[in-house]
Chains A and B, each alone.
Chain A
């Protein structure tokens, strides 16, 4: 913590607090490598964006050169921690009163002073250009950027998936005042209106009414208030609803209508809440009127604190509402200065962190190396939603999963520490991780209202987002791959058993073998450290065997069972190419998936194995799978031939999540899918086939296989622990492949 004292106040008319306490290291992160700055000074808030490189640890696997006997012990590969440099965009938003202090801080802490471009959005046209640019960018690139808020719906927030077709739309930018802009294309936009009642009104009037100076404090006050003590509602006038007009009793008839009296005191909280309602509704109403007049059905709100207004048009809110101008200024600067070679015109970003520290709001995005695209085989990419359950709308599920993730936290921390035995400060970092992640969980658990007041900070809440956030947190505290050692040990062990397993399968009749292969994949999938029920068993009994897992499996008929259809299909002609999204390392990939893949290859089907680009839990990564596949090829002529003839290919998914978002995949993967005319997609595991994609509709045949290793989920789906989901689907519309499908 450092204290900033503003020494000189001669230049500006308004006073600033004499001292502002901020934790600068936490706010202006990675400043020493900052390469480019953009600043957007609005009427009341300043948004600062900078681009810098960050170093963080990544786990790498490297195969031992077995010919030189370099290897120590029985390990197939070695794991090393390396430093990697990634590009990260940082966004910080603060009240204008802090400008000088902040800029001084930034200036003092810049190490490299040559390559700085300060891009301030000052003139009006420029500001608008930046705003639109930023808005287009986030709409195109950030998943769940936009959300719909519906006051009386079951779920108050509904997130939009990224869509290629974003135009035309109405952008309502709420700064100190309000600007309403019609955006028709990337470059064509027009300010069609505005309003003087905006964020400045909230702040100014709020300060007068509550004697509260800070914008954030005002919002805080508002979140605790009851507007009904200040506002005159329809029911205050009517005693109930105004039925003939369909106006409900809770509707505000007159904002501040009850405060028209000299002899009553009103609480600050209530007045702030009423003010917030008044301004939000007013902006929403104007937006609706403008949208109607210009025949636009999509309205995006950006800039401040807005919430919805009912109407015929869909009101969409942007999670990164406050940063549009800064992002745009940043992109514009990047365009104008391509010589720096730092950024492409439309860089791919991934939202990393968002945090609030008092009056400072921060956002960080990492630049991705590859472009992420839709799986070309999605039946309808625009309506695809990866997640099966939205926890924002399902209170029971939310409660369970938040509890579940908190319960599992100790284990995660222990494994994180164990993964770095040579680092003495690992325990300390792990503890920081625990605190941070637990805080997030508890915030969500104890104040589900957080979802209501700042959905922007979280995006949609799903099992996937909880899992991904955990991975992000682990990474942040330099635990890039807590399961690396466990994965290594299990891979080594499973490999020893591979040949025996294959031999057993080969001895079976064709019919018996098809069933045994499916059971093998399912049994392998029981080996999962991500599931609490299983990690307990694995932890206590490392010898828990493959055969034992098979015995645990539910007998047919399974919970979801289309094995008979699959079996019938196998009697038909082979598939052209199968894309297999794999799950865990160890027994799962080696003894479950590989024999299944081997059978497909033998049938004449090409196979593409898609694995995670980066680590997540004990999921096998692309790097590990390369080594494992080579090792198996050395033992198995079928796999060897497959690799040699390029009928077995490995691709990375582009993801580092235990779940799978088929709309954000590595573009190489998409290219391979197209080139090889993939006609079968296999998705394995609870994270990829149940938490996500359970309802995903593909335009080719698909197979979703998973064992339910969570008793609550099993219960909910009507099954029990270790129930099996085997979902084989043939799209009704894919008549072109009818020749390949048995009738």
Chain B
């Protein structure tokens, strides 16, 4: 990425599928113990730090007591969005020999299929670098896997579920996102699966708070950009999201939702915009003939948006107008696909930044967390957002980012399976 002479940071999201990060160890899931009054208070306060003091043995004992209420494996959480389906899968690593014998073949086969591959079919991908290892969930220890595939391939996924007799496992499939509603009947008809539908914003917030709480060692889940207005000194830094409230949560998927979060259970959707990741990809496909997000981003990273955007300095000096130069035929002919992709990315990103900033001012909130798959491998947009927040607020607003970008809704759905709220 040669954008403004930036070097790729070590911590930036890796596009390779092999994990670069060390497995993250020994996390406890707070919500599972809410039967315990001590922990309930901590959990409802939305912070999990106190739970980490819980010793392994007590946890084990307690988990034995909750064993009866623990749902049977497999544990999935699913978020079916407009463009992507996000799936989180908990792989238990503490299976006893006894359990191993009891385990039905179907379950074993699903586990092996998911964990031994990093790609499924033509379009399914496991984000190995995001995997959370040695995580303790409801008294079970294992790895949390993050998988995604395009929503239009959902029929193939359902077919696979049918082939693997998923329905015989009598599991509850917790799903959120609009697709949970749209495809509910398909799940039933094609795979004989009953969905437990969940609100996507509830899940999103729950997922964000959980992931942030369990990722304590290794690279911090949350990070920001230092010196965002100075390209030469702009670097990614970890951020501790302690006392996160109030918080403006900007979820950039196909479209954008902006939430003001005051506590885990108290939030409101402030606004949204239809100019989101779907718009970027949709326009790029039309303008450049590309077909994937990765392709579009690749082109954007090589392009130059000022050739496309009409600089107002052409007229006055100052601001710019998105795509303004494209009013002229000559300029339309001289522009490259890369420039167009870049201009589209910059336009969409700056617009989100602008709306976010206004919401932050209106809601009087200084901390802004950007999530959603638009930001996946999209350092350019993140830096633009960081720049916009910092510049326009004269340093008052802080743009924060999370490594698990698009998976929080799915994580929230999984948590709902393990601990119905």
Contact = CB atoms under 8 A, between A and B. Distances in A.
Question: Does A pair with B?
Answer: yes
Given A15-B330, A177-B324, A285-B355, A253 B282 contact: no
A289 interface: yes
A201 B182 CA distance: 34
B301 to A, nearest CB: 19
Interface stretch (A240-248, A447-455, A634-642, A724-732): A240-248
B319 A253 contact: no
A236 B291 CA distance: 20
A195 B286 contact: no
Interface in A326-361: none
Interface stretch (B24-32, B37-45, B120-128, B273-281): B273-281
B282 A205 contact: no
Q: How large is the interface on B (under 10, 10 to 19, 20 to 34, 35 or more residues)?
A: 35 or more
B300 to A, nearest CB: 14
A176 B324 contact: yes
The winner among B273, B323, B331 for most chain A CB atoms within 10 A is: B323
Interface in B46-89: 81-83
A232 B275 CA distance: 11
A204 B324 contact: yes
B279 A237 contact: no
B350 A237 contact: no
Contact of B255 (A207, A209, A239, A257): A257
Contacts of B275: 255, 278, 282
B255 A201 contact: no
Interface stretch (A66-74, A258-266, A560-568): A258-266
Interface in B312-346: 312, 315-316, 318-332, 340
A124 B318 CA distance: 10
B285 A262 contact: yes
B308 A257 contact: no
A201 B324 contact: yes
A123 B316 contact: yes
B359 to A, nearest CB: 7
A123 B315 CA distance: 9
A203 interface: yes
Given A43-B321, A201-B321, A260-B83, A293 B289 contact: no
Interface in B347-398: 347, 350-351, 354-355, 358-359, 361-362
Nearest to A247: B272
A43 B326 CA distance: 12
B82 A266 contact: no
A198 B321 contact: yes
Nearest to B296: A260
B283 interface: yes
B8 interface: no
B309 interface: yes
A44 B316 CA distance: 14
Interface in A281-314: 281-282, 285-286, 289-290, 292-293
A289 B362 contact: yes
A234 interface: yes
Given A14-B329, A256-B282, A43 B320 contact: no
B269 interface: yes
B326 A207 contact: yes
Contact of B323 (A205, A259, A271): A205
Nearest to B254: A254
Contacts of B323: 200-201, 203-205, 208
Interface in B153-186: 177-179, 181-184
B181 A254 contact: no
A586 B178 CA distance: 72
A213 interface: yes
Contacts of B320: 177, 196
A231 B309 CA distance: 23
A290 B392 CA distance: 14
Contact of A281 (B274, B290, B315, B316): B274
A620 B324 CA distance: 56
The winner among B271, B309, B351, B362 for most chain A CB atoms within 10 A is: B351
The winner among B316, B318, B326, B330 for most chain A CB atoms within 10 A is: B326
A238 B181 contact: yes
A203 B326 contact: yes
B140 interface: no
B321 A255 contact: no
B273 A237 contact: no
Nearest to B325: A204
Contact of A203 (B83, B287, B327, B354): B327
Contact of A14 (B179, B274, B287, B328): B328
B209 to A, nearest CB: 20
A196 B287 contact: no
B310 interface: yes
Contact of A195 (B283, B325, B351): B351
A498 B50 CA distance: 103
A209 B199 contact: no
Interface in A221-236: 230-232, 234, 236
A200 B322 contact: yes
A237 B255 CA distance: 11
Contact of A232 (B184, B255, B328): B255
A254 B273 CA distance: 8
Nearest to A200: B324
Contacts of A123: 316
A261 B291 CA distance: 5
Contacts of B278: 232, 253-257, 260
B391 to A, nearest CB: 14
A208 B343 CA distance: 13
Contact of A237 (B178, B199, B324): B178
Contact of B82 (A254, A286, A292): A254
Contacts of B316: 123-124
Interface string A486-510: 0000000000000000000000000
A648 to B, nearest CB: 62
B199 A244 contact: yes
Contacts of B325: 204
Nearest to A254: B278
B283 A205 contact: yes
Contact of A208 (B177, B312, B326, B358): B326
Contact of B312 (A177, A197, A253): A177
Contacts of A263: 291
A242 B201 CA distance: 11
A517 interface: no
A254 B359 CA distance: 19
A14 B82 contact: no
Given A123-B316, A176-B310, A201-B323, A286 B178 contact: no
A207 B255 CA distance: 24
B265 to A, nearest CB: 14
Contacts of B255: 232, 252-254, 257
A266 B286 contact: yes
Contacts of B318: 124
Contacts of B351: 195-197, 282
A293 B393 CA distance: 14
A168 interface: no
A194 interface: yes
Contacts of B361: 293
A13 interface: yes
Nearest to A96: B327
Nearest to B202: A244
Interface in A167-190: 176-177
B286 A209 contact: yes
Given A232-B255, A282-B351, A197 B329 contact: no
User: What are the 5 A-B residue pairs with the smallest beta carbon separation, nearest first?
Assistant: A204-B326, A256-B282, A254-B278, A237-B178, A239-B182
Given A195-B351, A263-B291, 7 more contacts: A14-B330, A43-B310, A177-B321, A196-B319, A208-B287, A237-B178, A271-B286
